[in-house]
């Protein structure tokens, strides 16, 4: 058994008699951990009232990856309009909020601090409680929203741009780590592979689309089979690099779809194999998949009988932060004013 960590106490959602439409608590959630500026509103029954995501992907594409300083500055420009749009969409004013939730980490510190500062300012100025949320718990909590409405216990494959985790989820507010990647995350492998194939950044979705027209058996890419339940994707990326380098001049264009399909197939096989091993090991009766890579079409097909996070809630968004916040204990003012962001969290 690896580390177990908890993100706060469980609190019953949807307390009777609370404020908001239908007698339900209204939470404004903010997410700025990487290059998406996002705000969402949720009520005490877990109904999403607004979900606004402004992606900076185009801004960072010319650099081939997220530039932290550029991301922070863009969050500063977008945070107020994005929150205003979410409030408008929900038909809610600041006066009707019951609490404010925000991603505290892991992520880019400068980016996180924009969201955290905005959340503190809104909460403090209204005398509202604040709910700090772990971004990874957020990804898992996307599964608690419509139409999935999953309930623990379940085994979760959390596969995103920065993480590839197998989690034993027994309750809404915590999880137990069973396995992780020893090098690249699966999303990173997609992005690096896409870059080698000339698909730009972030390339996961583009590689997915390209792979649909390719032959997955054209190339045989390696799958790392380590002891235990951990993953490794760096060898796969190197194998693709050698295949691309070995092509005759002008051949890449003709072979690109087959390379994408074969490369994607290797990533998906690795994810599926390990997840099924983990499920057997802990006797899990329910498998769930969340995080940006959970949007991948081949992975969704391979896991068709699992609980899959809704596609629009796979990559970063504030709806998943709002969902997690429903189960966490709010911090009353002024207890949150010295709260800091964290870049990473020791999981194992
Ligand atoms: N259809 C798809 N197929 C494969 N990968 C995809 C697809 N759509 C998105 N991705 C990948 O998902 C990742 C982004 O997911 P997400 O926003 O959850 O990651 P992150 O927030 O950067 O990382 P973390 O959550 O670990 O901090 C990128 O690597 C992107 O390429
Ligand atoms: Mg994420």
- For the beta sheet containing 130-134, the strands, ordered from the edge strand earlier in sequence to the opposite edge, are 48-55, 36-42, 27-31, 99-105, 130-134
pLDDT attached to residue 277 = 97
Structural domain total, the chain: 2
172 beta partners:
none
Same-domain check for residues 84 and 129: yes
Residues 126 and 167 in one domain: no
Provide the pLDDT for residue 66.
87
- Contact 179 CB / ligand 1 (< 6 Å): no
- Around Cβ 343, how many Cβ atoms within 10 Å? 12
137: tokens are: 């718990």
Residues 163 and 295 placed together within one structural domain of the fold:
yes
Check residue 29 and give its pLDDT.
Answer: 98
Q: pLDDT tens digits for the chain (348 residues)? A: 233 333 343 333 433 333 444 445 999 999 999 999 999 999 989 999 999 999 888 888 888 888 899 999 999 999 999 999 999 999 999 999 999 999 999 999 999 999 999 999 999 999 999 999 999 999 999 999 999 999 999 999 999 999 999 999 999 999 999 999 999 999 999 999 999 999 988 899 999 999 999 999 999 999 998 999 999 999 999 999 999 999 998 899 999 999 999 999 999 999 999 999 999 999 999 999 999 999 999 999 999 999 999 999 999 999 999 999 999 999 999 999 999 999 998 885
Tell whether 12 and 76 lie within a shared domain.
yes
Residues spanned by the domain of 110: 4-148+316-325
Could you tell me if 82 and 138 lie in one domain? yes
Pair 74, 33 in one domain: yes
User: Residue 58 has what pLDDT?
Assistant: 84
We report the CATH number of the domain holding residue 175 as 3.30.420.40
Do β-strands 27-31 and 36-42 pair in parallel, antiparallel, or remain unpaired? antiparallel
Cβ of 291 closer than 6 Å to ligand 1, yes or no, is yes
Candidates 308, 272, 301, 43; CA nearest to 150 is 308
Asked if residues 161 and 187 have their Cβ atoms less than 8 Å apart, the reply is yes
Q: Does 182 fall in a domain?
A: yes
How far is Cα 64 from Cα 190, in angstroms, rounded to an integer?
A: 13
Q: Are residues 131 and 175 in the same domain?
A: no
Residue 348: predicted pLDDT: 59
Predicted model pTM: 0.93
**Which ligand places an atom closest to the C-alpha of 34?**
1
Residue 145 CA to ligand 2 centre (angstroms): 17
Give me the pLDDT at residue 63, please: 86
Q: What pLDDT, on a 0 to 100 scale, did the predictor assign at position 59?
A: 86
Given a contact cutoff of 8 angstroms between Cβ atoms, the answer to whether 31 and 321 are in contact is yes
Q: Of 53, 47, 110, 74, nearest to 315 (Cα)?
A: 53
If you measure from the C-alpha of residue 207 to the centroid of ligand 1, how many angstroms do you get, rounded to a whole number?
Answer: 12
Q: For residue 220, is it within any domain?
A: yes
Cβ 164 under 6 angstroms from ligand 1 = no
**Same-domain status, 142 and 23:** yes
Ligand nearest the Cα atom of residue 71:
1
Q: Do 72 and 13 belong together in one domain?
A: yes
- Does 46 contact ligand 1 (Cβ within 6 A)? no
Cα-to-centroid distance, 42 and ligand 1 (Å):
24
């Amino acid at each position: 058994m690896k580390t177990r960590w908890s993100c706060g106490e469980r609190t019953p959602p949807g307390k009777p008699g609370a404020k908001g439409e239908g007698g339900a608590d209204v939470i404004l959630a903010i997410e700025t951990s990487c290059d998406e500026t996002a705000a969402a509103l949720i009520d005490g029954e877990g109904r999403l009232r607004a979900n606004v995501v402004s992606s900076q992907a185009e801004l960072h594409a010319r650099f081939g990856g997220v530039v932290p300083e550029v991301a922070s500055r863009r969050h500063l420009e977008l945070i107020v309009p994005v929150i205003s749009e979410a409030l408008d969409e929900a038909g809610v004013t600041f006066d009707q909020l019951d609490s404010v939730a925000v991603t505290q980490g892991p992520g880019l510190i400068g980016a996180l601090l924009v969201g955290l500062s905005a959340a503190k300012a809104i909460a403090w100025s209204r005398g509202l409680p604040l709910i700090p949320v772990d971004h990874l718990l957020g990804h898992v909590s996307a599964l608690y929203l419509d139409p999935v409405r999953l309930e623990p216990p379940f085994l979760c494959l959390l596969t995103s741009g920065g993480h590839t985790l197998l989690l034993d989820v027994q309750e809404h507010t915590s999880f137990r780590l069973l396995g992780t990647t020893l090098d690249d995350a699966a999303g990173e492998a997609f992005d690096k592979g896409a870059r080698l194939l000339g698909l730009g950044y972030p390339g996961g979705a583009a590689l997915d689309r390209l792979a649909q027209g390719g032959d997955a058996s054209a190339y045989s890419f390696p799958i790392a089979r380590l002891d235990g339940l951990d993953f490794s994707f760096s060898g796969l990326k190197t194998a693709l690099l050698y295949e691309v380098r070995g092509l005759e001049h002008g051949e890449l264009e003709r072979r690109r779809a087959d390379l994408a399909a074969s490369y994607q197939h290797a990533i998906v096989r690795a994810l599926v194999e390990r997840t099924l091993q983990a499920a057997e090991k802990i006797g899990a009766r329910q498998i769930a998949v969340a995080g940006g890579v959970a949007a991948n079409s081949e992975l969704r097909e391979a896991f068709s009988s699992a609980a899959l996070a809704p596609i629009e809630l796979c990559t970063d968004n504030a709806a998943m932060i709002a969902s997690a916040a429903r189960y966490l204990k709010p911090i009353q003012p002024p207890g949150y004013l010295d709260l800091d962001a964290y870049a990473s969290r020791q999981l194992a």
